[in-house]
Chains A and B, each alone.
Chain A
C-alpha cells in the first residue's frame, strides 16, 4: 500500500494501482474514454489527464501512470477541465453528430462526457470522415466515421478473445479500425468489441433501431446455453427481449459473453414458439385446452416402471428435483435420465468412483490461478468460449503453460507457447493413461499417492500403457508423453480441463478416472489453481447431476429407455425439452423407439423433430420466463428470474409438473422457493444456501473429495481402413445443443452442418471448400458442405452435431470415432 493525496484527501492504494484505479478505489471519479478495467492500460484518448505536483504540475494520463508514495494528485483543476474540453472538441471535430440516429445514444461515453463538460461549440473546423460503413455483416455494423480511435475493440479482440480480427489501419488523420486487407468481418462474433466501444462505431445489427437504450428494462439473468453459467443482462421492452446489454461488473467474466450468449437470444420471443397444448387426434396434432392435455398425460403416467422420462439439463434445479420426485413418488418409476446418459457419465460414474463426488473439485476461477493447464481437446474453447477467454488471458498475461492433447488442432493451439499433441482419434484415454504411467516411471508422484486406495491395482493396470506402446497407437511420440508427464507433475499448480457432452461419447467415466488418476497421483487437488474441471455441456448439466436426475438404483438410462420403448417395456415416454431425434446417437433408432412407444409426451418451446412425433405436446417457457436456479459447471448455484412475462397460454415446466402431481393425487409444492429449501436440505454441498441470498449473488457448492485410484479402460484405437476416414463429432463455437438453431444470431454465422477435413484429404478426394460431399458410414449417409482447414489431421473429419436439417446421427451410432467414406 502506498499513501497519496488525491484532491486534498489523504488516501491509500495498492502499490500496483494506477492513478485512475487509486482514485476510483477512493471514490474520486476520473473520466475515461479509452480505458477498460479488463484491458491493459493504453493511454490513447487523454481524457483522464490529472495534475501531479511532483511532476511540476504537468498533466499526465491517470489510466497509465502507476501511483508512487507521497504523490499529490489533483483531478479537476480549471486547467485540467480546459484540457479535457479541448480533447472533446478535437474528437467532435471529426465525429458526425448523428446521435438522433445512432443506437449508442444514451449509453455513449462521448455523448455523456460532452454533456458533462458542456462542450457546445467548437473552436475548430474540419471535414467529417467519409469512411464506408459496413452494413452487410449480419451481426456487427461498423461505422468508422464515429470512431474515436480508442483501440478498445482491437485490444479486447486480441487480449481477451485472442482472435485479432480488428486492428488500426493507416496512419495520422487517415487512421481507422479495420480488418485484414479491409475485408469484411469474419470472426467469432462474440460481440466483445461492441460491448467495449465507447461510441456507436460498432453496433449489434440484430438490435439496429429496435429501441433506445434508455427505454430498455435491464433484467439480470444467467445464460441458458452452456455450462459456463455466464451472467447476462437482457434488454427488455414491451415484454420482449430485444438485446443483451454489457455490464462490466457482472460475473467472474466481467460481462464477457460468447456469440451464443450475446446474439442467440432471439429464440425467447421467436414467433415459432409453441403457444397452445396440442393433442394427436386422427393422426394430427390439434390444439386443445390445458385441462384436456394434462388429463390425457396424467392418465398415461401410471403403470410404474412402464413410464420413463428424459429431461433436458436446461431445466432449473427446482424443476429437475420436482420431476424426479414425481417420477419416484407419484408415478413409481425410476426410469429417468438426461443427456443421452453418457454425457454425464464422467461425473456420475467417473468422478463418483475416483473422487467420491459427482462434481469437479476445481472452479473456473482456478484457471487464472494455475501454473500449467492440461486441456483435453481443443474443442474446449468451442464448447465453453468464456472459459476459453480465461485460458487466453491466463496464457497471455500470466504466462501459464498450456498443454493440449487433442484429436485436432484448434484455436487454443494458436496461443503463445501452446504445446498441442495431436493423437489419433479416440485414443485420448490411452494417452492420459500413458502420462500417468510415465509419472509413475519417472517417480514424480506425490508422497502421499502410494497410500491412496487402488494404487497397487492402478500400477498393475498401467503396465500396458507405457509411453512407447501408446505412442505407437496414438501417433504421439513417447518423448512428448514423457515431457508432458514431467511438466505436469513438476508444476507447482496444475489444472486439467475437459469438456463433456452429447457429442463427446469418448469423454466418459473412463476419461474422468484417467484424469482423476493424474490429479491424485501428483497430489494436485484441494489447492488453489489445482485439480480438474469437467466442463458440463448445458446451462444446468451439473445441476441435473446434483439433483440426481439420472439412472440410479436400477433405473434405465437414456439409451436403455429408448430400447425399452422399442421392445414395448416402456409404454409412456415423457420428454421434457430434449430433442433426441436430432441430438442422440443413431437417429433412426431413436425415431423407431419414439414411433414404437404407446404414448409420447413432449414439453417444448418449439415444434422440434421430437415434438412432431408426440401424442401430446405441451408449450413450455424459456429461461427468461421462469424462476429458479441453475448450477454451472463449477457448481456455482445462480438464480434466474423472469425477465419477461410468459405467454398466458404457456406454462413453465414447474407449473406443468405441479399440475400433473396434483392430478396424480400428490401434493404439489407451492413455489420454486419451497422446492429449493428441500434441495438445500437434501443435496450435498447445497446445505446452508438460501433462495433469497442467491437472488443477489450466486454461491459455490463445495465439493468434498475422497480420492481413489481407479484403473480406466482405454477404448481400442480405431484402425483406419484404407480409403476410409475417421469421423469425430463435436460441438461448434456458434451453437449449443439444438436450441441455438432458434437463435437468429448463431444461424446467421453458422446456418448448417459441414464436414471439416484436412487439406491433404481434400486434395486426395478433389474436394474444395463448400463442395457438397456425401459422407457415409455403416448406418447411413448425409450430404454436407465441405470445409477445408489446416487444423484437421490427415484421415480425420469433423462434423458438428446441432443441426436438424442434416443431423450427424444419421451416420453416427454413438461411438467416439466412426469410420466413414467420402464421395463428392
Chain B
C-alpha cells in the first residue's frame, strides 16, 4: 500500500471531527443536562412548611451503606418528626433504596452531583442542608 494513504485516511478522520458537534463537555463552563432519573444528592420534601419526613426509620433500616441517621422527636401536637436527619455522603452509594422505602414520599434524589468538598465533616448532610430548596 502506498505509505501515504494511511496518513491521508487518518487526517481525513481528524478533519471530519473538526466539523462535528463536540462530545466533550466544557465543564464547569458548560453544564450537563441531568436526566430526570439521575440519583444525585438527596432532598427532603417539604409540605405545609414542614419536612414531610415522619421519622419512620425505614430509610435507615433499608440503607445498605448504613449512612442515614434519624432521631425522632415529638412535636407540640404529639406528632412524630425527624429531630435529626443526617446522611453521610461519603458512605452513600446512591442506590436510591431510601427513596423507594419511604412510605410518605418524604425523600427524593435530585440532579445535584457537585458534592466535592475539603473536609470529611462537610460530607455529613444534616436536615437543614437536605431540606429541598424551593
Which chain A residues have a beta carbon within 8 Å of chain B's beta carbons?
A: 99-101, 105, 133, 135, 208-212, 214-215
Cβ-based interface call for B134 (8 A): no
Given A212-B57, A214-B61; A100-B78 close (CB under 8 Å): no
Instruction: Report which of A101, A208, A210 forms a contact with B56, defined as CB distance below 8 A.
Output: A101
Given A100-B104, A101-B79, A101-B80; A212-B54 close (CB under 8 Å): no
Cβ-based interface call for B51 (8 A): no
Chain A residue numbers with a CB within 8 Å of B104 are 100
Closest chain B residue to A209 by CB distance? B72
CB distance from A131 to the nearest CB of B (A): 14
Chain A residue numbers with a CB within 8 Å of B80 are 101, 209
Q: CA–CA, A101 to B55, complex, Å?
A: 7
Chain A residue numbers with a CB within 8 Å of B79 are 101
Q: CA–CA, A101 to B72, complex, Å?
A: 10
Cβ-based interface call for B58 (8 A): yes
Cβ-based interface call for B74 (8 A): yes
Closest chain A residue to B72 by CB distance? A209
The 5 closest A-B pairs by CB, nearest first: A100-B56, A209-B72, A101-B80, A212-B57, A135-B78
CB distance from B10 to the nearest CB of A (A): 63
Instruction: Report which of A100, A208, A209 forms a contact with B103, defined as CB distance below 8 A.
Output: A100
Given A100-B103, A209-B72; A215-B61 close (CB under 8 Å): yes
Chain A residue numbers with a CB within 8 Å of B64 are none
Cβ-based interface call for B73 (8 A): yes
- Check if B73 sits within 8 Å of A209, measured CB to CB: yes
Closest chain B residue to A141 by CB distance? B78
- Check if A208 sits within 8 Å of B57, measured CB to CB: no
- Check if B74 sits within 8 Å of A212, measured CB to CB: no
CB distance from A433 to the nearest CB of B (A): 58
Chain B residue numbers with a CB within 8 Å of A212 are 57, 61
CB distance from A143 to the nearest CB of B (A): 10
Chain A residue numbers with a CB within 8 Å of B58 are 100
Q: CA–CA, A675 to B54, complex, Å?
A: 51
Measured as residues with beta carbon below 8 angstroms from the partner, the interface class of chain B is 10 to 19
Main secondary structure of the interface of B (DSSP, over half): loop
Chain A residue numbers with a CB within 8 Å of B78 are 133, 135
Main secondary structure of the interface of A (DSSP, over half): loop
For A101, A105, A211, A214, the residue with the greatest tally of chain B CB atoms inside 10 Å of its CB is A101
Q: CA–CA, A329 to B72, complex, Å?
A: 54
Q: CA–CA, A212 to B54, complex, Å?
A: 13
Q: CA–CA, A545 to B95, complex, Å?
A: 61
Q: CA–CA, A214 to B58, complex, Å?
A: 10
Q: CA–CA, A210 to B54, complex, Å?
A: 13
- Check if B55 sits within 8 Å of A209, measured CB to CB: yes
Question: Which residues, 95 to 124 on B, are CB-close (under 8 Å) to A?
Answer: 103-104
Q: CA–CA, A100 to B56, complex, Å?
A: 5
Closest chain A residue to B55 by CB distance? A209
- Can you list 8 residue pairs at the A/B interface with Cβ under 8 Å? A100-B54, A100-B56, A101-B80, A133-B78, A209-B72, A212-B61, A215-B57, A215-B61
- Check if B57 sits within 8 Å of A101, measured CB to CB: no
Q: CA–CA, A105 to B78, complex, Å?
A: 17
- Check if B54 sits within 8 Å of A101, measured CB to CB: yes
Chain B residue numbers with a CB within 8 Å of A211 are 57
Closest chain B residue to A97 by CB distance? B103
Q: CA–CA, A211 to B70, complex, Å?
A: 10
CB distance from B74 to the nearest CB of A (A): 6
Q: Using an 8 Å CB-CB cutoff, how does the interface string of B54-89 with A read, 1 for contact, 0 for none?
A: 111110010000000000111000111000000000
Chain A residue numbers with a CB within 8 Å of B57 are 211-212, 215
Q: CA–CA, A508 to B114, complex, Å?
A: 77
Q: Using an 8 Å CB-CB cutoff, how does the interface string of B17-56 with A read, 1 for contact, 0 for none?
A: 0000000000000000000000000000000000000111
For B54, B57, B61, the residue with the greatest tally of chain A CB atoms inside 10 Å of its CB is B57
Q: CA–CA, A105 to B79, complex, Å?
A: 16
Q: CA–CA, A691 to B73, complex, Å?
A: 43
Q: CA–CA, A753 to B58, complex, Å?
A: 44
Q: CA–CA, A380 to B56, complex, Å?
A: 43
Closest chain B residue to A212 by CB distance? B57
Chain A residue numbers with a CB within 8 Å of B103 are 99-100
Chain A residue numbers with a CB within 8 Å of B72 are 209-210
Q: CA–CA, A62 to B54, complex, Å?
A: 39
Chain B residue numbers with a CB within 8 Å of A99 are 56, 103
Closest chain A residue to B73 by CB distance? A209
A-B contact sample (11 more), CB < 8 A, given A135-B78, A209-B73, A215-B57: A99-B56, A100-B54, A100-B103, A100-B104, A101-B80, A133-B78, A208-B74, A209-B80, A211-B57, A212-B57, A215-B61
Closest chain A residue to B78 by CB distance? A135
Chain A residue numbers with a CB within 8 Å of B74 are 208-209
Q: CA–CA, A211 to B73, complex, Å?
A: 10
CB distance from B25 to the nearest CB of A (A): 41
CB distance from B75 to the nearest CB of A (A): 10
Chain B residue numbers with a CB within 8 Å of A210 are 72
Chain B residue numbers with a CB within 8 Å of A105 are 56
Chain B residue numbers with a CB within 8 Å of A100 are 54, 56, 58, 103-104
CB distance from B77 to the nearest CB of A (A): 9
Closest chain B residue to A208 by CB distance? B74
Q: CA–CA, A215 to B80, complex, Å?
A: 17
CB distance from A518 to the nearest CB of B (A): 55
Closest chain A residue to B83 by CB distance? A209
Q: CA–CA, A401 to B78, complex, Å?
A: 47
Q: CA–CA, A209 to B78, complex, Å?
A: 10
Q: CA–CA, A211 to B84, complex, Å?
A: 13
For B73, B74, B80, the residue with the greatest tally of chain A CB atoms inside 10 Å of its CB is B80
For B72, B73, B79, the residue with the greatest tally of chain A CB atoms inside 10 Å of its CB is B72
For A100, A210, A215, the residue with the greatest tally of chain B CB atoms inside 10 Å of its CB is A100
Closest chain A residue to B77 by CB distance? A135
Chain B residue numbers with a CB within 8 Å of A215 are 57, 61
Chain A residue numbers with a CB within 8 Å of B55 are 101, 209
Chain B residue numbers with a CB within 8 Å of A209 are 55, 72-74, 80
Closest chain B residue to A100 by CB distance? B56
Closest chain B residue to A205 by CB distance? B74
Q: CA–CA, A588 to B79, complex, Å?
A: 50
Closest chain B residue to A214 by CB distance? B61
CB distance from A707 to the nearest CB of B (A): 60
Q: CA–CA, A100 to B79, complex, Å?
A: 11
CB distance from A242 to the nearest CB of B (A): 12
Q: CA–CA, A520 to B74, complex, Å?
A: 60
Chain B residue numbers with a CB within 8 Å of A101 are 54-56, 79-80
Closest chain A residue to B53 by CB distance? A100
Q: CA–CA, A214 to B80, complex, Å?
A: 18
CB distance from B85 to the nearest CB of A (A): 14
Q: CA–CA, A22 to B80, complex, Å?
A: 43
CB distance from A114 to the nearest CB of B (A): 14
CB distance from A217 to the nearest CB of B (A): 15
CB distance from A146 to the nearest CB of B (A): 14
Q: CA–CA, A214 to B72, complex, Å?
A: 15
CB distance from B14 to the nearest CB of A (A): 60
CB distance from B103 to the nearest CB of A (A): 5
CB distance from B107 to the nearest CB of A (A): 13
Q: CA–CA, A209 to B79, complex, Å?
A: 10
Q: CA–CA, A211 to B74, complex, Å?
A: 13
CB distance from A557 to the nearest CB of B (A): 50
Q: CA–CA, A32 to B79, complex, Å?
A: 30
Closest chain A residue to B79 by CB distance? A101
Q: CA–CA, A232 to B57, complex, Å?
A: 26
Closest chain A residue to B60 by CB distance? A215
Q: CA–CA, A135 to B74, complex, Å?
A: 11
CB distance from B50 to the nearest CB of A (A): 14
Q: CA–CA, A100 to B101, complex, Å?
A: 11
Q: CA–CA, A135 to B73, complex, Å?
A: 14
Chain B residue numbers with a CB within 8 Å of A133 are 78
CB distance from A493 to the nearest CB of B (A): 52
For A135, A209, A211, A214, the residue with the greatest tally of chain B CB atoms inside 10 Å of its CB is A209
Q: CA–CA, A215 to B103, complex, Å?
A: 18
CB distance from A184 to the nearest CB of B (A): 15
